[in-house]
Structure 1
């Protein structure tokens, strides 16, 4: 498995992983009609913008055949006034490649980038019913707040997690 920075040519592969992961991850959380109508093409356009933005950092996980099987993205925190903060905006790994350590490798790349940029505090938002929240907790993220949101016609609880200081996470990752 290879973890590397994404390029514009990766937008289609990232879009496929994004849509497929939404369909599996949110299957019992969001309305099926919404999930069925997700579009690879629309997601590809979004990812082209994300990858080429100076404010966004995207890394991919490739299998041995060079196929993208996961990705992570993040950037400068825009939602609040916390100094030197960033957002982990997305991390998705195809079901068949989960529990193989790819999430740890992806988060490691992004957090080292955040450290390079001088970000100390990192936020991540996750739906309460999404089991990936336990992944964040295992890496020391602490629940900051819960808010109700409407998404795809469903009322959901959005959890906002925070790493107040990513130094311990980086130390833990560099020792592996």
Structure 2
């Protein structure tokens, strides 16, 4: 498995992972009608624009299998809302269902975190739907629930949880075995 920075030509693979992971992860959380209407095309322009972005503090990385298929991605940069005392944000991390629970998410997140640290970011937040199974991953990586907020997806009100790291250098420390 290769973890690398996204480049021209990756947008379709990223949009595929984004769409499919929403459909598998959020089924039973987000309205089915909303999920059933998600398409790669609806996400494609966003990812093409993100790849072309020249924002130095932002990063988009992909997990690529040996045969070239993108099976996951993560992106992050400056915290976007300015309401909480965090300077960095992990905007998104998604994996195809068949490659989850194999350490790939940790590798992707760690790449993003290292990039944020090189841009002098010290504290991190990530937002996740309250019933998202990945919340356990964020807790395992050392995140603490610090805030909730509501959002509306597909006509349904949902709760989003903000997981924070007060010290970005400790990201992932919780997941390491005691020596």
Count residues in correspondence: 175
CA offsets per residue over residues 27-54 of structure 1, 9 Å max, x none?
1111111111112112110101112223
**Structure 1 counterpart of 2:42:** 42
Structure ranking higher in helix proportion: 1
1:1-176 pair list within 5 angstroms: 1-55=1-55, 56-80=58-82, 85-169=87-171
Distance 1:82 1:126, change over 3 A: closer
For 2:151, what is the secondary structure of its paired residue?
strand
CA positional deviation for 1:8: 2.2
Q: Structure 1: state its 5+ residue gaps.
A: none
Distance 1:24 1:107, change over 3 A: same
CA positional deviation for 1:170: 6.7
8 Å CA contact retained: 1:111, 1:170: no
CA positional deviation for 1:99: 1.0
Q: Structure 2: state its 5+ residue gaps.
A: none
8 Å CA contact retained: 2:142, 2:174: no
Q: Indicate the RMSD between aligned Cα atoms, in angstroms.
A: 2.0
CA offsets per residue over residues 44-88 of structure 1, 9 Å max, x none?
101011122233310000112110000001111120166771110
Give me the whole-angstrom Cα distance separating, in 1, the residues matched to 2:161 and 2:86.
21
Q: TM-score, normalised by structure 2?
A: 0.91
